[in-house]
Structure 1
Amino acid sequence: MFKKLIVLPSLLLGMYFNTFGQRQSVDVQHYGISLTVRDNTDKISGTAEITVRFLNSVGELRLDLVGPEIADTGMTVLKVTERSAVGHTAANGGKPGAPNSVKNVPFRQDSAAVYLTVSAGKDETHTYRIEYAGVPRDGLIISRNKFGKRTFFTDNWPDRAHHWLPCIDHPSDKAAVDFDIITPDKYTVVANGLKTQEVLMADHQKRTRYTEKAPLPTKIIAIGIAAFAVDHSADVQGIPVYSYVFPENKKQGLADYGKAGEILRFFIQQIGPFPYKKLANIQSKTIYGGMENASAIFYSEESVGFKYIEELMAHEIAHQWFGDAVTETGWEHVWLSEGFATYMTQLYLEHKYGKDTLKAELKDDRKKVIAFEKKRYTPVVDTTTKGGYTQLLNANSYQKGGWVLHMLRRQVGDSIFWKGIRSYFATYGGHNANTTDFRQVMEKVSRQDLGDFFQQWLYTPGMPELTISPSGGGLFTISQQQEHLFTFPLEYAIDDDPQIHTVQIKDRVTVINIKANHTIHIDPQINLLFEFGKGM
């Protein structure tokens, strides 16, 4: 996602984690989400049918859900039932589960979760129906837009879905999802997946259903309910592209969001097939500049007319492959989402506007990484953050992550880089991956050992801090000032000579010899993340 607009300002099978990092031996297969929203109250009525495969025998299933709080906020579970099993179980020889009568399931609830008393064996699949109600304090934002119109928008990243939905609120758990949403009939509903039904009901109500078969983590499950102007702006290789904007912003909004088709076409060509059945770009109430919900991207309500709308949209559309289809196994690997979206955006801009645009973007991002490092000295893969994961939305995850991909591209070459990117998506699309998974894919494709490269740029804090001093007679001394030595190719040019020279840096001090009385220009092509030290 884009952080809040200021100018407009390995295939994971095994243990899963709830939002507090506790191990759970379950894998959610499907969420069936039914919600009723009203205009005369912020209280919602919900039913979640959750199909769970048990990886081990357990007697209690814990689902993340914020319980009742003051002022009627939080979700109160009213009833839990279990219906017949679906799928295959070890107990019946791998055959589809036989129908069973609906039965009540004992449960208890605290401020953070609901606990179901179950009797589930290893490899069994069960479906539980949870009825609940309450006023969401977060996650589902019920408010008014800048035109004073009432709106309802989910805003789940990073682990805020459990404010309104019983779930396993962690990126490692991905599930298909269906929606059955009842609203006043004046509203339009948009959600992940394809719309399967929209019918008027009695008392000026409307029912809208969507279905998404691709597995999603809860962070990108999306429901948007508002008065919208809707446009079907393009079809790209069979993928319909839609724009949803507030009616007051119709002319400008549809023009702005109409840029999506060209962006989508570029990424499909470069990365691989679009992972979902549609792409909707939606003006919304989100705390971020943009939120990459799968097939239903939410943009800040101030995004219409935003000077950098094309860059913003490219970032969020790139996320559909990286962050959505390929989801990081845990928050510490969020660069696989944000760093990828950052650099894929820059590659789109390079494709459309030329290499100088890419260089300008990289120079600006390098300044941001240097500034961030002065405030927080930590590696890109940051395992120290426990809770409050929005703090990971920083220059390490975005700009430094993007820079790592740029340097990797330069090391392996353009064709191998794109081959690796396509292979990574083809291997892990629909699943989870971590940094090691990505490294192994790139090593296989490039036939290079990238262990040291990944270690120094992603697992080691900092970057090369260089001083470069003339030593007389055409000699220049290049010194690494930072604590940990880095190994990297340093490019330089002499005066206005177009030839690019390269020296391999690995020691504390390296001496190079050029013609006397000439000026040296370091990193003229903008290919290295580094800082000139104070001695320069």
Structure 2
Amino acid sequence: MPPTTARPVFRRFRLPRPVRRPLRAAVLGAACAALVAAVLPPPSPVALGIGDPLFPTLGNPGYDVIAYDIGLTYGGVNTEPLDAVTVLDVRLTDRLERLNLDFTHGTVGSVEVDGAPAGFATVEEDLVVRPERPLDRGSRARITVRHTSDPRGPRNAGGWIRTGDGLAMANQADAGHRVFPSNDHPADKAYFTFRITAPDGLTAVANGVRKRRTDNGSTTTWIYRTRHPMATELAQVSIGRSAVPTRDGPRGVPIRDVVPVADQEELEPWLRKTPAQMEWLESRVGRYPFETYGVLIADANTGFELETQTLSLFERALFGPAYPEWYVDSIMVHELAHQWFGDSVTPRAWSDLWLNEGHATWYESLYAEESGGYTLEYRMREAYRRSDQWRADGGPPAAPRPPTPGQKISLFRPIVYDGGALVLYALRQTIGTDAFERLERAWVREFRDGTAGSADFARLASRIAGRDLSAFFRSWLYEERTPPMPGHPEWRSTPPPTASPASRPPAAGPGTAAKPG
């Protein structure tokens, strides 16, 4: 038995009873957790999303992409997969043990995080990356994915488009991740670099400005880089037997077009219209927001045109004899207007698409009116007549109805095109032409290179008009029936026939948008 004089020494290091028990529980809990971790496998990877009401699995939480560097090697046959390397520089907004990327329609060979090999798994349309160590909030990381990018698939499914002489891209709305691993939601814009290697005789063009062209012998590598952030759905790469005529736009903005070599002379009268169209739009909304622009005319039957950033995609058939000149001009202006409305100012959620398409339709209509086509008022009166039916078919302009189970959704309905322009017409009728024009300029100036939504537009309109317009926007953007048109009490909207939701025609799938994009 130890001497009694030793007892105070042991007592001096005892913890008080209220503290000792939690400590013992914590130690035991940690030991049990370690034992369980040693016995049980980690939780299975799962597909994630940021909760967009229309595309809930698009985008991923926990990080922002700062920049993409996408390397593509094209073998010369547009039905064979391309070898690809996609590098993402990301900033962590949460601590992540796993990081999800949107990716499908390709095979992943390896993944690295900051140069170290990382585990990965594909789940639904996600690539789930597990780095060696968790990524801390506030830190930055570089994810390198070696993969293939497969152009094969259903027509108009989105992603790669096979053209008569190569490939082009059409990623709107949810198809960017069919081409490269990404955070495929417009809320996460980033800078892009493209490195495209193709056989000699082919020309590669991408968003932004060409930085380098390197002759490798039997192949050529083309490098392009954007100077402004871009949404994944706006990425564009064209590979084909293309001519790239150039010219100057307003204030020397470089314009470079991409057309089939065989069609260059025939298409030149259309191409040289762009500078004047840019001047026309600048006179209404302010300076062109990007470093370059161009028209990409693809030898493909897409059924749509698309406002890919700095290089709008058009199908060759649009420039044939089937359409009057004023109509083609107005469609060119529609896609050009998107460079301000949709590309520079990008929707924060897909339900804000009316801000893109409504504005592009608005300026398309004004240009058509000045070019000898229909008048704006005629088009808006017709849109008003059909508006109630459009709302019944797919929901109001800023609250598109989500798909039912098993149904694919098409955002590209008349309600976001002419219906969106109708909202702008009603707004101009309400606040006056002067305030409306100041609003348009302020919108593209204050949200340039960023994302914005319907609530932002309503707040800015109220500020410009000097009065609260929340009731106006609530009724025009979210109600099931079209409100009365200010200044036109005689206008009537044809009520839709009574029908249950199940009897309404299903929405078309993505990529089936009518002209224009």
Per the normalisation by structure 2, the TM-score is: 0.78
Cα distance in structure 1, aligned partners of 2:475 and 2:308: 32
Q: Distance in 2 between matches of 1:79 and 1:377?
A: 42
Q: How far is the alpha carbon of 1:22 from its aligned partner? A: 6.6
Residue in structure 2 matching 1:337, options 337, 342, 356? 356
2:387 is paired with a residue whose SS is helix
- 1:122-165 CA-to-partner distances (Å, cap 9, x unmatched) read 111111111112523354435342xxxx3111110101011120
Which residue in the other structure is 2:335 paired with? 316
* Deviation by residue 1:309-356 (Cα, 9 ceiling, x = unmatched): 1011010000001111111111111101111110122233345559x7
Deviations 1:154-204 (A, max 9, x none): 1101010111200011111111100000001111111100011112212x2
- Aligned residues: CA RMSD: 2.5
1:81 to 90, 102, 112: 112
Shift of 1:377: 5.8
Partner SS, residue 421 of structure 2:
helix
* Superposition map of 1:129-148 within 5 A: 129-136=144-151, 137=153, 139-141=158-160, 143-145=162-164
CA contact (8 A) 2:245 2:257 kept: yes
Matched, 1:385 2:382: no
| Aligned-pair CA distance for 1:532 | 6.1
The corresponding residue for 2:196 is: 181
Alpha-carbon distance in 1 for matches of 2:403, 2:179: 22
Whole-angstrom CA distance in 2 between matches of 1:286 and 1:153: 12
Alignment counterpart, residue 452 of structure 2, candidates 433, 452, 456 = 433
Identity score, percent: 23
1:240 aligns with 2:202: no
| Residues 34, 286 of structure 1: alpha-carbon distance in 2 compared, 3 angstrom cutoff | farther
- CA distance in 2 between counterparts of 1:75 and 1:270 reads 43
Structure 2 unaligned residues grouped into runs of 5+: 1-49, 497-517
Which amino acid is the alignment partner of residue 416 of structure 2? Answer: S
1:112 aligns with 2:131: no
Contact 1:377 1:462 in 2 (8 A): no
Distance apart, 1:213 and its partner CA:
2.4
Equivalent positions of 1:108-257 (< 5 A) are: 108-118=121-131, 119-136=134-151, 137=153, 139-141=158-160, 143-145=162-164, 150-202=165-217, 204-257=218-271
Deviations 1:464-496 (A, max 9, x none): xxxxxxxxxxxxxxxxxxxxxx4653447xxxx
Matched with 1:9 is none
Correspondence for 1:454 among 457, 464, 473: 473
1:65 aligns with 2:103: yes
Query: In the alignment, is residue 25 of structure 1 matched against residue 25 of structure 2?
Result: no
3-state SS of the aligned residue for 1:108?
strand
Please state whether the residue corresponding to 2:471 is helix, strand or coil: helix
The whole-number CA distance in structure 2 between the counterparts of 1:197 and 1:367 is 53
The alpha-carbon distance between structure 1 residues 389 and 196, as it changes in their structure 2 partners (threshold 3 A), is farther
- The total of aligned residue pairs comes to 432
Structure of higher CA gyration radius: 2
Aligned to 1:412: 431
Match of 1:42 among 80, 91, 95: 80
Q: Distance in 2 between matches of 1:390 and 1:228?
A: 34
Distance 1:43 1:408, change over 3 A: same
Change (3 A) 1:201 1:23: closer
| Aligned residue type for 1:76 | T
Mark the CA change 1:461 to 1:278 in structure 2 (over 3 Å): closer, same or farther: same
Relative distance call for 1:359 and 1:193 in structure 2 (3 A) is same
1:273 aligns with 2:287: yes
The answer to whether the Cα contact below 8 Å between 2:60 and 2:100 also exists between their aligned partners in 1 is: no
- 2:120 maps to amino acid: F
TM-fit CA distance, 1:105 = 1.8
1:96-121 superposed Cα distances (whole Å, 9 cap, x missing partner): xxxxxx32122222341111113211
Whether 1:302 aligns to 2:264 is no
Gap regions ≥5 residues in structure 1: 1-14, 67-73, 84-101, 464-485, 493-521, 523-527
2-structure distance, mates of 1:233, 1:461: 47
Please give the alpha-carbon distance, in whole angstroms, between the structure 2 residues aligned to 1:286 and 1:275.
30
Kindly indicate whether the alpha-carbon contact (under 8 Å) linking 2:346 and 2:451 is maintained by their aligned counterparts in 1.
Answer: yes
Question: Structure 1 residues 134 and 490, CA, compared in 2 at 3 Å: closer, same or farther?
Answer: closer
Output the TM-score relative to the length of structure 1: 0.75
Task: Measure, in 2, the Cα distance between the counterparts of 1:301 and 1:488.
Answer: 39
For the 8 Å contact 1:183–1:205, the answer to whether it is kept is: yes
Residue pair 1:280, 1:296 contacting (<8 A) in 2 also: yes
In 1: Cα distance, 2:210 partner to 2:51 partner: 30
**Alignment match of 2:414 (pick from 391, 395, 409):** 395
CA distance in 2, matches of 1:412, 1:256: 37
- Matching residue of 2:306: 291
8 Å contact from structure 2 (residues 394, 400) kept in 1: no
Structure 2 counterpart of 1:358, from 349, 371, 376: 376
Contact 1:283–1:298, Cα closer than 8 Å, also in 2: yes
Summarize the alignment of residues 479-498 of structure 1 with structure 2, pairs less than 5 Å apart: 486=483, 489-491=486-488
Aligned residues of 1:378 and 1:462 also touching (Cα < 8 A): no
Offset at residue 533 of structure 1 (A): 7.1
Q: Match for residue 463 of structure 2? A: 444
- Decide which structure has greater helix share: 2
Q: Which has the higher strand share?
A: 1
Which structure 1 residue ranges, 4+ long, deviate > 6 Å from structure 2? 15-19
